[in-house]
């Protein structure tokens, strides 16, 4: 169902690269996309969210698409609480408990199958082929590597990170399903690792605070990978293999420094 309204959104709840989330009437939230190009993911996100909710995952209910002026968006249930990233910074002594909950939710998600979500390898291949700004060598290598990686049907969020998880009454709620696919769980873990390594301290933090946050993230990653392997019983030997298509897929969102480091890692792996 779609609607058009002149009512303006309320309090800003969250900001992202493709959209902002605002308070809406009747305990709802509205996610408004920044541009028509970004809004192309709207129907996909709505469908994926409904699939995930039907599978029993902790996701907010999505109601409808909506237009406010030239902006398009989605109406969700409003989830009171803060992101896991905010909680980690406010209460670092809870890191171990939070990383366990973070990992266990992803392990559970990967036990669920979907025949309705896009197949991950096909989705990645199509998106990578469309990227005109991608270095040709990286594009060719990524497509070749995708052909060597396994096909699977586990639900993969593909943006599973500390800023896309809300904490509500001690429970985790997973948002932003626009990239979700059915595929190899190791691909999802590879994205999570890449994102955690890229995470930075918020603006305004002191040098000392930034060092502590960086140390905390390194510890988070070690515990996360160790627990994921133990809880899932899954080998992560394909983790580095997924790095090539992951870098190609998200190349435009990487900083020049990140591109340099990741391309060096790929080059060294393929020597």
Judging by beta carbons within 10 Å of its beta carbon (0-12, 13-18, 19+), is residue 198 exposed, middle or buried? Answer: middle
Q: Which CATH number fits domain 2-77: 3.30.70.3270, 3.20.20.10, 3.40.50.20, 3.30.200.20?
A: 3.30.200.20
The residue to which tokens 């960086």 are assigned? 214
Distance between CA 240 and CA 217 in Å, rounded?
19
Distance between CA 34 and CA 265 in Å, rounded?
33
226 compared with 217, residue with greater pLDDT: 226
pLDDT of 202 over the 60 cut:
no
The residue to which tokens 């609607």 are assigned? 3
Other CB atoms within a 10 A radius of the CB of residue 158 amount to 24
pLDDT of 209 over the 80 cut:
no
pLDDT 10s digits, 218-239 = 889 999 999 999 999 999 999 9
Beta-carbon-side half-sphere exposure of residue 89 (alpha carbons within 13 Å): 17
pLDDT 10s digits, 139-198 = 999 999 999 999 999 999 999 999 999 999 889 999 999 999 999 999 999 999 988 887
Distance between CA 50 and CA 74 in Å, rounded?
12
pLDDT 10s digits, 79-110 = 999 999 999 888 889 999 999 999 999 999 99
**Which band of pLDDT confidence, cut at 50, 70 and 90, is reported for residue 31?**
very high
What topology is assigned to 82-269 in CATH? Answer: Aminoglycoside 3'-phosphotransferase; Chain: A, domain 2 (3.90.1200)
Per the CB < 8 A criterion, the answer to whether 197 and 221 are in contact is: yes
């Amino acid at each position: 169902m779609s609607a058009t309204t002149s009512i303006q959104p309320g309090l800003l709840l969250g900001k992202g690269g493709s959209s902002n989330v605002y308070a809406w009437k009747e305990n709802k939230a509205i996610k408004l996309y920044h541009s028509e190009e970004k809004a192309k993911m709207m129907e996909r996100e709505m469908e994926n969210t409904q699939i995930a909710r039907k599978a029993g995952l902790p996701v907010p209910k999505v109601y409808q698409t909506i237009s406010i002026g030239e902006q398009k968006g989605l109406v969700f249930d409003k989830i009171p609480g803060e992101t896991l990233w905010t909680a980690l910074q406010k209460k670092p002594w809870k890191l171990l408990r939070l990383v366990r909950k973070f990992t266990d939710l992803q392990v559970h998600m990967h036990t669920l199958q979907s025949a309705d979500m896009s197949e991950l390898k096909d989705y990645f291949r199509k998106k990578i082929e469309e990227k005109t700004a991608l270095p040709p060598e990286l594009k060719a290598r990524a497509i070749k590597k995708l052909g060597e990686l396994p096909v699977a049907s586990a639900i993969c969020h593909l943006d599973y990170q500390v800023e896309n998880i809300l904490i509500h009454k001690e429970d985790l709620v997973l948002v932003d399903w626009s990239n979700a696919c059915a595929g190899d769980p190791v691909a999802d873990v590879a994205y999570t690792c890449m994102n955690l390594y890229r995470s930075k301290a918020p603006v305004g933090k002191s040098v000392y605070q930034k060092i502590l946050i960086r140390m905390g993230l390194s510890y988070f990653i070690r515990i996360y990978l160790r627990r994921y392997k133990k809880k899932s019983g899954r080998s992560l030997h394909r983790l580095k293999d997924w790095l090539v298509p992951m870098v190609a897929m998200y190349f435009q969102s990487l900083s020049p420094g990140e591109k340099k480091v990741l391309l060096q890692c790929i080059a060294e792996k393929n020597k």
